[in-house]
Amino acid sequence: MSMSVSDSPDADIRMAYQNVAHSGSLNWLLLSYGKWAGGLKLFAAGSRGISELRQNVTEDNVYFAFFRESVDNVRYYATVAYIPEAVSGLRRTRALATARTVQGWFKVSQAMLSITHRDGLTTDNIVKYIRSHQLPDVPAFSPPVSRQGSYDPQKSLPRVPPTQDRMRSPSMSSDPPSRSGSPAPTRGWGMLDPEERARRRQEAQLRKKAEDEAAAKQELLRQQRRKREKEDMLRQLEDEEMRRKAMLESDLRRAAMIKAEKEEEERLAEVNRVMERELKKRQDAERRSAETHRIEAWRMEEQRKIDELSRQVENAKIKVEEVKQMSAATASKLREHRLREWNGVLLRGWVTIQNANSLVWRRRYFELTETSMKLYKNDKELGKVLDTVELTGRLRGVKEWNDGFEELRAIEHSFALDFGDLQEPVSAYTDSAREKADMAGFLLTYV
């Protein structure tokens, strides 16, 4: 964004300024660089006072405002430079210089204030400052009228005075108080004699010449300053380029050295890798041979254990079957006697049982009757049957864990009631081998 500002405002700024200064429909205008590269432009203008002006100001941009405010039937004019604290360095310096130029554009302004926070844009703050630094009785602005009676806005604007540093603190500052009022009455040009008119004309010419010389000197100083800044910048760029080249050459030498060292390391690493691969091959071959012998010995030992275990299982099955047959034979002999003596009950006792549709084992008191097995909560509540397992005509056998019930292998004294296709099997276990043998024997009488 360019920060350059011409010595005179453009037509839009002049028209808006005349409207505000003439007590027209506008009472404030706002200038900004915005997206324009040629300098300040009219950013906004309005008629609803400083609150409306403040709504058009953003926190991170530079603005210059001119506004009119009436308080107690007294009109106040002020120029405000809004330069946020985030603006620093060269940008702030140029913004302050621009503020001095804008101050020269708005001649009727009673004060020039610099504000860093948007909250400072209030009527009370600015009018209070004007009252403490400026006489408030500002006359109505009246532009000069040419002899033909027409008004030229361009000619009515005051000429830009030589730049003077009239800024104050970063938060709020003002020009030294300058009293505004009606000029002292003078005699009209028609009342002056030729010598007086010539003297005044010569004074005006001398004054204009001095001002032009001051402006030319100021412009020369500005151009010399810009030339020095440009030379300093070029010198800095040359120094930076020399440092960059030196650093590049150093980096290239270091990179070449690192590359050579890396290539040598890679060559030695490859030699080591080849040697390690050969050694690993020999060690792997020896390890595989030893592992093969070890696995074969282990396999033979495991096979021997399996064969031995199979023989033990078979012997156990035979033994269990013999026990079951013996118990079944004994139970058959006792069946009729028990039914008569125990009022229709073959066997009573405790058993832990699990139905096929449940994962929970439940301890129950049972009674084997002539046709079924009745389950009770305990031996004190025999009048309340919790469940009945029908056995006569349905039970197909009493199975061990090795008959296809692997889940019972870890449970001592366990067995399963097999009902074939009639229903899912029922798993159970007793407290002792004797109780298991008695119960299995009587259960086999239902098969």
> How is 223-260 classified by DSSP, letter by letter?
HHHHHHHHHHHHHHHHHHHHHHHHHHHHHHHHHHHHHH
**All residues at 6 or more sequence positions from 444 whose CB lies less than 8 Å from its CB, including other chains:** 324, 327, 328, 331, 397, 398
Q: Quick one: 146 exposed, middle or buried, by C-beta within 10 A (0-12, 13-18, 19+)?
A: exposed
Output the pLDDT for position 56. 92
Cα torsion through 230, 233, 238, 239, rounded to 10: 150
The Cα 6–Cα 145 span in angstroms is 26
* 206-228 core/surface letters (b: 16 or more CB in 10 A; e: else): eeeeeeeeebeeeeeeeeeeeee
The CB-side HSE value for 368 (13 A sphere, CA atoms) comes to 23
Structure tokens at 244: 């960059």
Is the Cβ–Cβ distance between 440 and 324 less than 8 Å? yes
The Cα 427–Cα 405 span in angstroms is 9
pLDDT in tens, 34-44: 665 557 889 99
- Which stretches of the chain drop beneath a pLDDT of 50? 1-3, 135-190
Output the pLDDT for position 305. 83
Selection from 32, 142, 146 nearest residue 80 by Cα: 32
The Cα 127–Cα 134 span in angstroms is 10
**All residues at 6 or more sequence positions from 48 whose CB lies less than 8 Å from its CB, including other chains:** 27
Output the pLDDT for position 136. 41
The Cα 447–Cα 434 span in angstroms is 21
Using a CB cutoff of 8 Å and minimum separation of 24, what contacts does 196-201 make? none
What's the pTM?
Answer: 0.32
Specify which residues 367 forms β-bridges with: 348, 374
pLDDT in tens, 22-62: 888 899 999 998 665 557 889 999 999 888 999 999 888 89
Output the pLDDT for position 251. 92
Q: What is the DSSP letter of 161?
A: P
- Rg, the chain, Cα only: 57
The CB-side HSE value for 34 (13 A sphere, CA atoms) comes to 14
Output the pLDDT for position 186. 43
Q: Which domains does the chain have, with CATH numbers?
A: 11-184 (3.40.20.10), 342-444 (2.30.29.30)
Neighbours of 168 (CB within 10 A): 14
The Cα 423–Cα 397 span in angstroms is 13
Tell me, what amino acid is at 51?
Answer: S
* 414-423 core/surface letters (b: 16 or more CB in 10 A; e: else): bbbbbbeeee
Phi, psi for 363 (deg, rounded to 5): -85, 125
pLDDT in tens, 389-421: 999 889 999 999 888 889 888 999 999 999 988
Output the pLDDT for position 364. 94
Beta strands in 10-167 (DSSP E): 28-32, 41-46, 63-71, 74-82, 112-115
- Look at residue 106 and give its three-state secondary structure: coil
Output the pLDDT for position 323. 59
Selection from 105, 104, 108 nearest residue 76 by Cα: 108
The Cα 309–Cα 314 span in angstroms is 8
Output the pLDDT for position 91. 84
Phi, psi for 357 (deg, rounded to 5): -90, 15
